[in-house]
Every structure is written in C-alpha cells, then in structure tokens.
C-alpha cells in the first residue's frame, strides 16, 4: 500500500497481521491446529462450498508471509494460574431452519478440559463468519450466554450460510430480521450446553480437590497412628506387666501425641486390659 498517512498507524505490521488473520477468509495452519481437516471434512459432508483465500503480508515482496487463522491445538487458560489446555476434538452443531428445511449455519468449537477463560485474545470466544469474513468481534455473541464470561472459555466459529442473514453496513452485526432472530434462538440452546459443560467441569475439579484433601488427611492420621504404636511397642518390649511405671510411660506418650481427652480414654482401656 502506498501514500497512506502514517499518523493513522494503518501500516503497523503486527496490528495489520493480527487483524487480517482474525477477520479475513484465510485457511487454518494445519501444522499448529490439527483439527482443521475435521472442520473441512464436516463442511464437505454438509455440501457447503466454503472458500478460503491465500493472503500474504510483508514489508516487502521478499518478506511476504502467508496469513493463517490463529487457532492452535494447545493454548493457555485461566488468568491467575496460566495453565495449558488443549483441544481433544471438535464439537459440531449444524443449525437448520426446520420450516424451510434448509441448513442455515454450522457451529464448531473445541473440546477441551475447560480449565478457565482462554488467554489469547485472537482466538477466545465463538466468532461469527459470513462468506468467510468475521462479523463483529469476539464479544458479538456474549449476549447468548446467561453468564457472558463463559463465551471466553471456548474457541470456535459460527459459519453462516443463509442468504437471508445479512451483515449490516458496518459489518459489526447483522440486520435484525426473522432469519437472524431464528439463528440467535438456536445459538442460545448451544450456549446453554456450553455453560452446563463448564459448570460440570468446575464441579468435577472441586470434587477431585476435596477428595485429594481428604486422602491427605487420612494418610496424615495413619502416619501419626503408626508413630504412636511404634513408640508404645518400644516401651512395652522393655517393660513387664509388673512394671509399675508402664502405664505412666504409656500415658506420657499418648498425651504428647494426642489431645488430653483422647489420651485419657485410651489409657483407661489399656488399664482395663492390663
């Protein structure tokens, strides 16, 4: 591009590259996102002609770099912990207009452990595409979720095929006609499924943490019991049943290792046995 006023920063390479790979109808990078073929296969099964374009960007002809969608198989999640999650497959939801018996869209999003919000701003959220071009931004579909933050826990796309679903002039949303309203209602059902998966995954992790804590406490108690028994064995081996100091020594061990009430109860049982 020539004769572009520099004060608008339109030729900043990194910003232009980031924008184009999110918005333009470019292909997936199969080296970084191994489920690209699954998505292409699904489109083929649905007999959808979805065209991508090879776009190159560079500061000179010799430095041209092909632009791909930014999706990767492995990614960081959770703002505080910054843990790595990864795609384990892809969910597909074809959306149909049952009255007119036609396919109007396809939703795909990645299967993962749902460990937290996705940290990469270039891929987080369900994003809407018409004719391969992204409409709006990553926040466009937040309202279909009862908890809007959950849109940031997933990565995926809503690929719109219906000619009656028309982008507005600014291309930041769609015209609010009947076809669009139908699409949104169908998407709300999918958002509810995603939200339920997120809640279930969170509950399962909490349960695992609680079980680990309980097991740790049991193990700790077992170790204390073993130490007490070992000390008592040592005392008894050195003493005889006639040793008047036997119970006194056992009592001292119990009171050091246990609280006073428990120690007294155990000592009385020992006295009865002796």
Neighbours of 180 (CB within 10 A): 18
Separation in Å, CA 98 to CA 9, 36, 128, 183, 274: 47, 28, 21, 12, 84
Residue percentage of the chain with pLDDT more than 90:
63
Per residue in 54-64, pLDDT tens?
999 988 888 89
Domain boundaries, the chain: 6-204, 223-273
What does the block give as tokens for 212? Answer: 């680990």
Q: What does pLDDT average to over the chain?
A: 86
Per residue in 73-128, pLDDT tens?
999 999 888 999 999 999 999 999 999 899 999 999 999 999 999 999 999 999 99
């Amino acid at each position: 591009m020539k004769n572009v006023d520099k004060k608008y920063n339109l030729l900043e390479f990194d910003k232009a590259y980031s924008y184009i790979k999110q918005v333009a109808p470019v292909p997936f990078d199969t080296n970084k996102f191994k489920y690209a073929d699954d998505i292409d296969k699904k489109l083929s099964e649905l007999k959808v002609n979805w065209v991508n374009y090879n776009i190159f960007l560079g500061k000179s002809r010799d430095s041209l770099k092909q632009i791909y969608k930014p999706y990767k198989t492995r990614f960081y999640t959770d703002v505080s912990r910054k843990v790595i999650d990864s795609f384990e497959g892809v969910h597909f939801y074809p959306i149909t207009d049952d009255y007119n018996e036609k396919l109007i869209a396809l939703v795909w999003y990645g299967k993962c452990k749902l460990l937290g919000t996705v940290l990469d701003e270039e891929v987080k959220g369900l994003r809407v595409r018409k004719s391969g071009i992204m409409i709006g931004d990553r926040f466009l579909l937040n309202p279909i979720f009862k908890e809007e933050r959950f849109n940031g826990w997933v990565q995926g796309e809503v690929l719109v095929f219906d000619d009656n679903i028309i982008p507005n002039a600014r291309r930041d949303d769609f015209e609010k006609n009947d076809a669009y309203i139908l699409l949104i209602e169908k998407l709300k059902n999918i958002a509810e499924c995603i939200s339920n998966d997120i809640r279930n995954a969170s509950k399962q992790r909490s349960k695992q943490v609680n079980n680990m804590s309980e097991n740790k406490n049991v193990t700790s108690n077992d170790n204390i019991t073993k130490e007490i028994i070992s000390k008592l064995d040592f005392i008894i081996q050195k003493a005889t049943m006639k040793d008047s100091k036997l119970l006194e020594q056992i009592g001292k061990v119990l009171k050091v290792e246990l609280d006073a009430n428990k120690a007294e109860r155990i000592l009385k049982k020992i006295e009865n046995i002796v």
